[in-house]
């Protein structure tokens, strides 16, 4: 798959936190605030493993933390430019996040990117099984009448690349650090969305179906 072939695709699904936003999530601090002892365990799986009342209390705390973080973040450099270009070429754009849709909408409003997305193209942890499960991508593509081979999944973390692989889309890893820890899972790797926007400006879109 060439970079050009990836960039020419018409359906773009983005991770939100740390991809469209500047990263502010300190996941180790979040885990400890939720009483988790394992440093790299999956937060949503941990909550799902607790008795209902305890899970509800800690989930409420998680939501508080997520709102605090939303207040601190900003749009990632190049995000608006990239989304402008995508919409100008009639691409479909959506968001698949392990956050909630409500917090995602709040965050997008906060960072000035809300106008690019319809609310039904934003799937959170209550609309689909969390990444890396492919259900979220499958639901967006079913709603759009589109196929995985017309689609790109863009994200900053392992789950974003894994979910793209699981759903059969192309994957783009955005990693400010330049470390690119999962090269086998990324079809394209960029340091910023600005870099992606520049590359996209040179790619001819696929013809509409």
Contact residues for Mg ion (CB under 5 A)? Answer: 15, 17-18, 156-157
Q: How far is the CB of 156 from Mg ion (least distance, A)?
A: 5
- By C-beta, is 99 or 151 nearer to Mg ion? 99
Q: Which is nearer to Mg ion, 12 or 157 (CB)?
A: 157
Sheet order of strands, 151-155 included: 122-123, 92-96, 11-14, 151-155, 170-174, 188-190
Polymer length in residues for the chain: 209
What does the block give as tokens for 66? Answer: 């997520």
Locate 83 and state its tokens: 């989304």
Rounded (5°) CA angle 174-79-28: 50
Q: Residue 52 Cβ, how far from Mg ion at the closest point, in Å?
A: 28
Q: How far is the CB of 84 from Mg ion (least distance, A)?
A: 22
Give per-residue burial for 116-138: e unless 16+ CB within 10 Å, then b.
Answer: bbeeebbbbbebbebbbebbbbb
Question: Which residue's CB is nearer to Mg ion, number 22 or number 87?
Answer: 22
CB of 23 to Mg ion, least distance (A): 7
- Contacts with 3 (C-beta within 8 Å, 6 or more apart), sequence order: 188, 199, 203
CB of 16 to Mg ion, least distance (A): 7
Residue nearest to Mg ion as judged by C-beta position: 18
- Of the two residues 17 and 187, which places its CB atom closer to Mg ion in the complex? 17
Q: Which is nearer to Mg ion, 19 or 85 (CB)?
A: 19
């Amino acid at each position: 798959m060439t970079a050009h072939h990836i960039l020419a695709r018409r359906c773009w699904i983005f991770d939100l936190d740390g991809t469209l936003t500047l990263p502010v999530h300190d996941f180790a601090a979040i885990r400890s605030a939720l009483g988790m002892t394992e440093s790299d365990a999956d937060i949503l799986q941990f909550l799902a493993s607790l008795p209902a009342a305890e899970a509800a209390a800690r989930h409420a705390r998680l939501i508080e933390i997520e709102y605090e973080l939303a207040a601190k973040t900003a749009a990632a450099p190049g995000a608006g430019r990239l989304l402008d270009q995508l919409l100008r070429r009639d691409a479909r754009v959506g968001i698949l996040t392990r956050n909630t849709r409500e917090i995602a909408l709040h965050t997008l409003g906060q960072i000035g990117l809300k106008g690019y997305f319809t609310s039904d193209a934003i799937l959170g942890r209550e609309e689909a099984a969390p990444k890396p499960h492919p259900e979220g991508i499958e639901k967006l593509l079913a709603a759009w009448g589109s196929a995985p081979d017309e689609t790109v999944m863009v994200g900053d973390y392992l789950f974003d690349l894994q979910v793209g692989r699981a759903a059969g889309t192309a994957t783009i890893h955005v990693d400010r650090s330049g470390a690119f820890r999962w090269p086998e899972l990324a079809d394209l790797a960029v340091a910023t969305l600005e870099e992606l926007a520049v590359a996209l400006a040179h790619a001819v879109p696929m013809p509409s179906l």
